[in-house]
A = this chain, B = another copy of it.
């Protein structure tokens, strides 16, 4: 990953601005803290590559039971270079630690994400 691209640009891709506009509409200071502290401070630290960080993020959000943010970071993990198999392994790995219900809910988010990607890919160019 080029040093010129921030972690949040990689993770959110073309949805970056829309996601931060939505956060700012909730609360501008909240959006600022998430951008400055969570992303531009913690995510940008050296010592762990972005793909690994996104797999950790998926695990944390699976454990918290936060379906919307989980879907964002399942997509982010794949944008950061994780294969579908690596994402599936990450979700399955949580089962012995936190039980099956949280894992089933996480795979439902992954299913929904993959279904939408398939629909987009098979859509006609101007669909």
Q: Which A residues are closer than 8 A to B by beta carbons?
A: 23, 25-27, 29-30, 33-34, 37-38, 41-43, 45, 47-48, 52-53, 55-57, 59-61, 63-66, 68-69, 83, 85-86, 88-105, 107-108, 110-111
Contacts and interface: CB of A to CB of B under 8 A. Distances in A.
A121 to B, nearest CB: 19
Contact of A33 (B86, B95, B110): B95
Given A37-B37, A64-B101, A96-B38, A111 B55 contact: no
Copies of this chain, count: 6
A110 to B, nearest CB: 8
The SS class assigned to the A binding surface is helix
Given A56-B55, A93-B42, A93-B56, A64 B104 contact: no
